């Protein structure tokens, strides 16, 4: 076990809530069409915030909750596929906003697996012994990446951020096992944010298409087929059975996918909690938002074993099992 403690959790979501019924005024859809297919009723959408604003809100809450000064941080990692811009990166903006003078900062983009991949990077830094305290945040403003007239995609996504503070510890807690896998040959199943090549030496200009596109059937099949395989590998590494895990905090993509996971492992849905009903798919932020809600509600307690499960764009899957 890598002895690393998740010391604090926090989330930040926009105040503006957009219901399925409100979306029916923008496109041909309804709550009766969206909810049975996705498990989503609402999503939170920014009005005047950007990704760094949500991430900064999380960062300040984390420091307040732990009673830490920003100067104590060794590093800040932000996982996002929807940064404010390519430069400066979102983590650097957060570092500046909270005046974390001693922290290095960088972004990581693993799309909907971003929470697990970012947590893996953060835990590896701490396990190395070179650093003692770190902050990891998943933050997304996906509303700027969707075509709000395309009901096959826009109804799925929301904006939000969540994060954790981590520190090296001598306590019997931490990362038990992880399994990360990428499937680049299937990358075309989820596409977004493609830039046009307009340089002076280019031949035919490549198309500019900033919007989200996905093959829903292919993604559903991938998630229900491949994610359980990776989960099993992580459990085997940990020397655990599915019954040994108290909660599975999975990426909140689709209620049907999570139901399929629970059934595959012979577990009650009580162990596979969801909150996509309120937030939709917030990509790298979704497990962090759910984790914070469950910690604050007293559902997740010290001593529990929790599996974090991410899957999506890349395509990629990540699973980590923690002793909290």
The catalytic residues are 112, 251, 281
The side-by-side arrangement of strands in the sheet containing 4-12 is 4-12, 159-168, 133-141, 75-79, 104-108
Q: What is the 3-state secondary structure (H, E, C) of 159-189?
A: EEEEEEEEEECCCCCEEEEEEEEECHHHHHH
Token look-up 């390519």 returns 86
Q: Rg of the Cα trace of the chain?
A: 19
List C-alpha distances in Å: 283 to 52, 139, 206, 251. 15, 8, 27, 7
- CA 259 → CA 20, 71, 101, distances in Å? 22, 43, 44
205 token code pair? 């200009």
Residue pointed to by tokens 């035919």: 204
Sheet holding 247-250, edge to edge: 174-182, 316-323, 305-312, 247-250
d(CA 36, CA 259) in angstroms, rounded, equals: 13
Torsion 291-293-295-299 (CA) sign: negative
Please tell me the number of Cα atoms within 13 Å of 100 on its side-chain side: 25
Q: Quote the CA–CA distance of 317 and 230 in Å, as a whole number.
A: 7
């Amino acid at each position: 076990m890598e002895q690393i403690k998740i010391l604090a959790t926090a989330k930040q979501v926009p105040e503006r809530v957009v219901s399925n019924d409100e979306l029916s005024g923008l496109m041909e859809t309804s709550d009766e069409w969206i909810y049975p297919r996705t498990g989503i009723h609402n999503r939170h959408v920014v009005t005047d915030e950007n990704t760094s604003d949500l991430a900064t809100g999380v960062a300040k809450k984390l420091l307040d909750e732990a009673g830490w000064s920003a100067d104590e941080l060794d590093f800040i990692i932000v996982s996002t596929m929807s940064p404010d811009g390519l430069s400066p990166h979102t983590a650097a903006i957060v570092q500046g906003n909270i005046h974390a003078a001693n922290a290095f900062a960088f972004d990581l983009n693993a799309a909907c697996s971003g929470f697990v991949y970012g947590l893996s990077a953060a835990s590896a830094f701490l396990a190395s012994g070179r650093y003692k305290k770190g902050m990891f945040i998943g933050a997304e403003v996906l509303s700027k990446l969707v075509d709000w007239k395309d009901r096959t995609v826009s109804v799925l996504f929301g904006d939000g951020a969540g994060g954790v503070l981590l520190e090296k510890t001598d306590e019997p807690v931490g990362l038990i096992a992880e399994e990360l896998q990428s499937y680049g040959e299937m990358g075309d199943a989820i596409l977004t944010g493609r830039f046009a090549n307009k340089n002076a030496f280019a031949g035919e200009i490549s198309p500019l298409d900033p919007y989200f596109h996905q093959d829903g059937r292919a993604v559903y099949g991938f998630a229900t087929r491949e994610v359980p395989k990776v989960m099993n590998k992580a459990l085997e590494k940990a020397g655990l059975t599915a019954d040994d895990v108290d909660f599975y905090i999975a990426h909140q993509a689709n209620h049907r996918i999570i139901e399929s996971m629970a059934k595959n492992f012979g577990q009650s849905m009580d162990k596979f909690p969801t909150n996509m009903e309120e937030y939709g798919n917030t990509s790298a932020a979704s497990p962090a938002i759910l984790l914070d809600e469950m910690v604050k509600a007293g559902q997740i307690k010290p001593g529990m074993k929790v599996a974090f499960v991410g899957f999506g764009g890349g395509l990629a899957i990540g699973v980590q099992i923690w002793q909290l």
